[in-house]
Amino acid sequence: MPTSVGWVWLVVVLPFLGFLANGLISLVKPQAKSAVSFIGVGVLVAAFAVAVAVVAGLSQDQQGAPYVLTYWSWMTVGGLEIAAALQVDQLSAVMLIVVTGVSALIHVFSVGYMRDDPGYPRYFAFLNLFVFFMVLLVLGASFPVMFVGWEGVGLCSYLLIGFWYLDKVNADAGKKAFLMNRIGDFGFLIAMFLIFQATGSLAFTEVFEAAPEAFTINGEIITLITWALLRGGAGKSAQIPLYTWLPDAMAGPTPVSALIHAATMVTAGVYLVARSNILFAMAPVSSVVVATVGAVTALFAATIALKQWDIKKVLAYSTVSQLGYMFLGVGVGAYAGGIFHLVTHAFFKALLFLGSGSVIFALHRAYHATHSHDDAQDMRNMGGMRKFMPWTFAVMWVATFAIAGIPGLSGFFSKDGILAVAFARGHDHPVFYLLWLMGVIAALLTAFYMTRLMLYTFHGPSRTGEGEQRHLAEAPWVMTGPLVVLALGSIFAGVLNLPHVLPNPGWLEHWLEPVTELSHRYWNEVHLAASTEWLLMAVATAIAVAGMAGAVIMLKPEKLKAAKEAPAETGIQKVLLKKWYVDEIYDALIVRPTVWMSRNVLWKFFDAGVIDGAMVNGSAWTARAVGFVGSAVQTGRLAWYLLVFVIGTLVLLRAVM
C-alpha cells in the first residue's frame, strides 16, 4: 500500500477536530471570529491537501486497490462483523477530491458571506461537521459505515437548513429534509438486511465479490435490494417522489445550498448506485426504474424551474433536475458517466449558487442600509446587476453556458455522455429512446430557465429601488476568488472524460474501470457509430442554443415589474409557480391525516378512551363495585376469615395437585 494512502484517516479526523474546536468556541466565546475562520478554513485546506496526497498515492499503484483500512471492530455479534473501516479506491478517490476541494472553496466563500452573522462559529462548526460526515460517507468501507456518514450529512443538512432557527419556516424546512431523508433511509436499512441475509456480510468488497453467486440475475431478492437502495438514494438525492424537501432546503444560508444541496450531499444517491454498480447491473428492471426516475425527475423539475421567481428556487429545481440526469446515467449503466456529471455539476452548480449568494449578499446589504424589507432573493427585485457586479456576472454566465450544454464546456460533455449511452441503449429496448427524449427536452428547458435567470438578474433595467442601488457593489475578493476557481473548473472539467470521437477520450471512465468492471459482463457493450455520436452532439448543441435563444427572444426583462407591483399569476403559470401543488397534496394526503389520526383516533379515542378508560379504569371500577358488594362479607370476625382462608387454600391446593 502506498504510504500516503495510509494517511486517509486524517481527511476524516481534520474536519471533525474543526467541528469540536468551533463548536466549543460557539458555546464559550462566540465573538472569536478570526479564530473560527482560521480553524474552519484551515482544517479544510489541510484535508484537501491530504486527500490529494492520498489520491496521488493511489494513482501510482493501481494494482492493490481497493485498500481497506480497518481501525476497530464496531459491531461484532454472531455472524455479523462490522468494522470501523475506510476504503480507498478509484471511486472514493474521485469523490474525496470533489468533496474536500469544493468544500474548501465554499468554506473560504463563507468567511465573507457569513461575516456579520452572530452565529458565525456555530455555522463553521456545522459546516466542518458536515464535511466530516460527507468524507465518511464516501470513504466508508461497508454499507453501515457509509450509513453513518449518510445519516450524519442528513443531520448537518437539518442543522444548517434550520440555521436561522428563530424563523419557523426555516425550522420546518430542516425538519422536512430530515424526515424525507429518513423515509429514504428506511429503504437503505431494508437493503442492508437483505444484503446481509443473502451474502452474510455488509462490507463492500465482500458483498460485491459474493454477489455473482449469491444472486440470480433479475431475481426477486436482487431486485428488492436495488429497489430499497434506490429508495434510499431517492431520498438523499431528491428524486421523485422524495424531492420536495430540497427546494425548501434553500432556507439555509446560500453557501450551504451550494455545498450540501448542490455539490456534495445530494449526489450521495448517485454515488450509492455507482458504488453498488454490480447489484444494479444484476437487476436490469431496477436499473430501468432508476433511469426512469431520473429522466422523469429531470424533466418534471425543469418545468417547475421555468416559473420560479426566487433565484435560489430556480437553482434548487435545477439541481433536482440535474440529479435526475445523474440517475439516468447510472440507470443506463453509464456509471462513470453519472459520476462525471456529478463532478462537473459540482463545479458549475456550486458556482451558480455561490454567484446567486453574492447577488443576494449585495442586495441584502443594500436593503439593510435603507431599512427596506423587500425580498433579496426575488429576481423581480433584481435586474441590471451586471453594472454592479461584473465578476459575478461573468462567472455566472460561464456556469450558465456549462449547465446549458454549450460545446466545449464541462456540462456539454458530461450531459452528452449520459444521453449518448441512453440513446445507444435504445438498441436494446425502445424505452431508452423515450428516456433519451425526455433528457433532451429537459436540456432544452434547462437552457431556457438558466438564461431566464441570467436575463432577469443581470440584464435589463435595475428593479432594485433607487435608494438601494447606491449601495449595490461587488462582493469582496474572499467571495469572488472561489467563484473564479469554480469557473475554471466549469470550463475545463470536461477534459476528464471526452467523447470517443475526440482525442484522449474517456479518461475518467478508464480511471473508474477497476470499480465498474464488475458490472460489465451484465451490460451489453455500448455501440455508437462515430457518425451517430457526432449527430447526437449536434442535436445537443442545437437544443442548447435553441433554449438560450428562445429565452432571449421570448423574455422581456425590461417589462418585468418589481415583486411588490407584479400581478398575480394565473393558469398554468400559477400551477408551475406553485410547483404542481405537490407539497399541498402530500400535506393533505399524508401529513395531516397521520397527525389527525394519531391525535384523535389513536391517542384520544383508543389509548385514553378504550384501553385506559374502558379496560384499565373500567376494571378498576368493576373491582370497586364488586368490593362494595364484597364488603358485606368482611364481617370483621377473625374466625370467619380463618374459615374462608382454609377453604380457599384447600381449593387451591386441590386444583394444583
Summarize as ranges the residues that interact with another protein (CB under 8 A). 26-27, 72-80, 84, 144, 147-148, 150-152, 155, 158, 162, 165-168, 171-172, 174-175, 178-179, 182-183, 185-186, 189-190, 192-194, 196-197, 594-595, 597-599, 602-603, 607, 611-612, 615-616, 620, 656
Question: Least distance in Å: CB of 413 to another protein?
Answer: 37
Q: Provide the phi-psi class of 494: left if phi over 0, else alpha when psi is between -120 and 50, else beta.
A: alpha
For residue 541, CA distances in Å to 144, 275, 404, 544 come to: 43, 31, 9, 5
Closer residue to another protein in complex, CB, 154/499? 154
Closer residue to another protein in complex, CB, 170/516? 170
For residue 239, CA distances in Å to 22, 246, 279, 316 come to: 34, 9, 20, 12
Query: What's the rounded Cα separation, in Å, for the pair 562 and 493?
Result: 37
Residues 6+ apart with CB under 8 A from 500: 506, 528, 530, 533
> What are the φ and ψ backbone dihedral angles of 15, each rounded to 5 degrees?
-60, -30
Residues 6+ apart with CB under 8 A from 576: 303, 304, 306, 307
Asked whether 510 and 140 are in contact (CB, 8 A), the reply is no
Question: Least distance in Å: CB of 162 to another protein?
Answer: 6
> What cell numbers appear for 10 in the block?
486524517
Closer residue to another protein in complex, CB, 133/300? 133
Is 652 exposed, middle or buried (CB count within 10 Å of its CB: 0-12, 13-18, 19+)?
Answer: exposed
Question: Least distance in Å: CB of 224 to another protein?
Answer: 10
Closer residue to another protein in complex, CB, 252/294? 252
Asked whether 499 and 420 are in contact (CB, 8 A), the reply is yes
Q: Closest Cα partner for 129 from 101, 162, 151, 144?
A: 151
Query: What's the rounded Cα separation, in Å, for the pair 613 and 123?
Result: 49
Asked whether 483 and 106 are in contact (CB, 8 A), the reply is no
Closer residue to another protein in complex, CB, 176/463? 176
Question: Least distance in Å: CB of 75 to another protein?
Answer: 6
> What are the φ and ψ backbone dihedral angles of 370, each rounded to 5 degrees?
-105, 5
Single-letter amino acid code for the residue at 198: A
Q: Which ranges in 306-334 belong to alpha helices (H)?
A: 311-331
Question: Least distance in Å: CB of 189 to another protein?
Answer: 5
> What are the φ and ψ backbone dihedral angles of 505, each rounded to 5 degrees?
-80, 160
Question: Least distance in Å: CB of 26 to another protein?
Answer: 8
Question: Least distance in Å: CB of 602 to another protein?
Answer: 5
Closer residue to another protein in complex, CB, 17/539? 17
Closer residue to another protein in complex, CB, 164/397? 164
> What cell numbers appear for 34 in the block?
478570526
* Cα R_g (the chain), whole angstroms: 29
Closer residue to another protein in complex, CB, 106/141? 141
- Grid-cell match 464496531, residue found: 74
Question: Least distance in Å: CB of 656 to another protein?
Answer: 6
Query: What's the rounded Cα separation, in Å, for the pair 200 and 341?
Result: 34
Question: Least distance in Å: CB of 121 to another protein?
Answer: 11
Closer residue to another protein in complex, CB, 82/404? 82
Question: Least distance in Å: CB of 178 to another protein?
Answer: 6
Question: Least distance in Å: CB of 133 to another protein?
Answer: 9
Query: What's the rounded Cα separation, in Å, for the pair 161 and 285?
Result: 36
- The 3-class secondary structure across 390-415, one letter per residue, is HHHHHHHHHHHHHHHCCCCCHHHHHH
Question: Least distance in Å: CB of 209 to another protein?
Answer: 20
> What cell numbers appear for 479 in the block?
467571495
Closer residue to another protein in complex, CB, 624/637? 624
Question: Least distance in Å: CB of 613 to another protein?
Answer: 9
Query: What's the rounded Cα separation, in Å, for the pair 455 and 450?
Result: 9
Closer residue to another protein in complex, CB, 179/434? 179
Q: Give the 3-state secondary structure of residue 75.
A: strand
Closer residue to another protein in complex, CB, 554/602? 602
Closer residue to another protein in complex, CB, 260/339? 260
